[in-house]
Amino acid sequence: MKTLRLILVVMVMPILVWAQKDSAAAKKPDFSRINLTDIKWTRAEGGSFWFYYKPTQYFFTTQEFETRTLDNADVLVYLFEPGYYLLLPDFASAKLNVENAVEPVTSRSAVFVRRGVGANFYIIDHGLIVQNLERIGINTARQYVFRSRSSDKRYWIEESDFMAAPVSRPVGILSE
């Protein structure tokens, strides 16, 4: 009887381990083929949210994305692996535990966000706010050029976006 149990354990255990490994790997989406409109979010208590890929019910971990809350309380998300910005619109007024769609923003590594009328804005690069911006000027292509004194990286913002972009609406920009 003991031998039969041992044989069963030896035969069944590898099958169980193989099945668990396969199902866990199948949940994570192939980011090269991901459809961004299949990413959903659900607001949770305390200002947090669940962020997931609906077809496989894969929940993103906090190591896979960076978030920024905009002045209008919408949340901007930068997904590291596909390198894409997504917007969680109407975040503050979203009902708890109700599935919501994301708004794809851009696949550029940097975005420009106007904070209000005038020169109030910020640049977000790979999900992080760029510090110590210095205005270089405007080039012949009618792009405002800024440089980060911290990283020496340059950013180009189209004049039309710089002058008239809607408040709290991220716009993809060129960067080095």
Same domain, 28 and 91: yes
- Statement to judge: residues 128 and 86 lie in one domain: no
Instruction: Tell me: do 141 and 175 sit in the same domain.
Output: yes
pLDDT at 165: 86
pLDDT surpassing 80 at residue 137: yes
Answer yes or no: is pLDDT of 18 > 80.
no
User: Which parts of the chain are beta strand (E)?
Assistant: 39-43, 49-53, 58-59, 65-69, 75-79, 84-88, 99-101, 103-106, 110-114, 121-125, 128-129, 133-138, 143-148, 154-158, 171-175
Residues 87 and 124 in one domain: no
* Higher pLDDT pick, 26 / 55: 55
pLDDT of 12: 42
Question: Structure pTM?
Answer: 0.80
pLDDT for 10 equals 41
Q: Average per-residue pLDDT in the chain?
A: 85
Q: Has residue 100 got a pLDDT over 80?
A: yes
Query: 59: which 2 tokens?
Result: 């929940």
pLDDT for 119 beyond 80: no
Looking at the structure, do residues 120 and 78 belong to the same domain, yes or no? no
Domain that holds residue 99: 1-107
